[in-house]
Amino acid sequence: MTEPYDVLREDPELASLVDEHGELALEPAEDPFRRLVVSIVRQQVSMDAAAAIRERLFDSVAVTPTGVASADSGALRSAGLSGRKAEYVQNVAEAFLEHGWDRAYFAGLDDDAVREELTAVTGVGDWTAEMFLMFALGREDVFPVGDLGIRKGMRALYGEELSRSGMRDVASRWRPYRSYGSLYVWRAYEE
């Protein structure tokens, strides 16, 4: 069986990152709901701001579908969520409760079906669904081209003129391990 790192080393730009950073792990989150809430918190804010909001949110409410669905929206806003994001996390909580979503539920769905179900919930777009696929479910072949860090990292590695379509073409060389490739691209962006 081919390992992700063997496939990624075939790409000259990624090979040096794999060697430099070693074998990065892609592990499913212990709690898919909590991981989805974290992705919503991270939408369109800096990582530092998201970390502070996440800490206050997790300290102030029980971050479970029942806890978030029943939380006072004022408490969610006091934790640092905008009114809209407070609505989004409650929408997600209600969807988890209504549909019985859990790891086993999503295990039976392919990536496109997961993306379709999640994006039907107001507040969950493609980027959030892709973060869920990668970091909540540990799916190995996701390329989140909508992520700013991915786009900046791809341009740093492969050239400033690279379009999103071109990025997808480059990432197709990493199949079926585009999630792993994305982890290394984020490392390139961070550097």
* Mean pLDDT (whole number) for 146-169: 93
Q: Are residues 56 and 125 in the same domain?
A: yes
62-86 pLDDT, tens digit each: 999 999 999 999 999 999 999 999 9
Euclidean distance between CA atoms 141 and 135, whole angstroms: 12
pTM higher than 0.85 = yes
Burial of 94 (0-12, 13-18, 19+ CB in 10 A): middle
Q: Are residues 155 and 117 in the same domain?
A: no
Q: Are residues 108 and 39 in the same domain?
A: yes
Q: Are residues 18 and 65 in the same domain?
A: no
State which of 136, 159, 179 marks the end of a domain. Answer: 136
11-62 pLDDT, tens digit each: 999 999 999 999 999 999 999 999 999 999 998 888 889 999 999 999 999 9
Q: Are residues 165 and 109 in the same domain?
A: no
State which of 92, 110, 136 marks the end of a domain. Answer: 136
Q: Are residues 103 and 124 in the same domain?
A: yes
Q: Are residues 13 and 102 in the same domain?
A: no
Range of the domain at 148: 4-26+143-190
Q: Are residues 46 and 128 in the same domain?
A: yes
Q: Are residues 59 and 121 in the same domain?
A: yes
Average pLDDT, the chain: 94
* Mean pLDDT (whole number) for 165-182: 96
Burial of 191 (0-12, 13-18, 19+ CB in 10 A): exposed
pLDDT reading at 1 higher than 70: no
Q: What CATH number is given to the structural domain containing 99?
A: 1.10.340.30
Reduced 3-state DSSP string for 23-74: CCCCCCCCCHHHHHHHHHHHCCCCHHHHHHHHHHHHHHCCCCHHHHHCCCHH
pLDDT reading at 175 higher than 70: yes
Contacts 24+ apart (CB under 8 A), 45-51: 49/80
pLDDT of residue 47: 84
Q: Are residues 128 and 65 in the same domain?
A: yes
Q: Are residues 105 and 69 in the same domain?
A: yes
Q: How many domains does the chain have?
A: 2
